[in-house]
Chain A
Amino acid sequence: MLWSDLERFGRLMDPLQDFERMHRALSRWGSPSSVDFPAVNVWLSGDTAVITTELPGVDPKAIDISVVGKTLTLRGSRESEILKEDESYHRRERWHGQFTKTIELPFSIDAGKVEAGFSGGILHMNLPRAEADKPRKISVKSV
Chain B
Amino acid sequence: MADAAKETLKKEVASQEKGELTRQRRVFTPDVDIIERKEDIVVIADMPGVDEKSTDITLDKNVLTIYGRVEAVVPDKHTLYISEYGIGDYQRVFTLTDEVDREKIQATVNNGVLRIVLPKAEAVRTRKIAVTAGS
A positions within 8 Å CB-CB of B: 15-20, 22-24, 26-27, 33-45, 48-50, 52-58, 77-81, 83-84, 86-100, 103, 106, 118, 120-122, 124
Contact = CB atoms under 8 A, between A and B. Distances in A.
A27 to B, nearest CB: 7
Looking at chain A's contact residues, the main secondary structure is mixed
Interface residues of B, number: 47
B84 A40 contact: yes
Contact of A88 (B9, B24, B35, B46): B35
Contacts, number: 171
Given A41-B82, A44-B79, A58-B111, A122 B49 contact: yes
A120 B31 contact: no
Nearest to B114: A56
Given A16-B72, A39-B9, A97-B5, 20 more contacts: A19-B72, A37-B6, A41-B82, A43-B79, A44-B78, A50-B75, A53-B85, A54-B48, A55-B112, A56-B46, A56-B47, A57-B112, A87-B35, A90-B34, A90-B35, A90-B41, A94-B33, A97-B4, A98-B3, A100-B4
Contacts of A35: 7, 9, 84-85
Which are the 6 A-B pairs with shortest beta-carbon distances?
Answer: A121-B112, A56-B112, A121-B48, A43-B78, A39-B84, A39-B85
A89 B35 contact: yes
28 contacts: A20-B26, A27-B83, A34-B9, A35-B84, A37-B8, A41-B83, A41-B84, A41-B85, A42-B83, A45-B77, A50-B75, A54-B85, A56-B48, A57-B46, A57-B110, A57-B111, A91-B34, A93-B31, A94-B33, A94-B46, A96-B3, A97-B4, A97-B6, A98-B4, A120-B49, A121-B47, A121-B112, A122-B112
Contacts of A49: 81
B32 interface: yes
Interface of B: 2-10, 24, 26, 31-38, 41, 44, 46-51, 72-87, 110-113
A94 B31 CA distance: 5
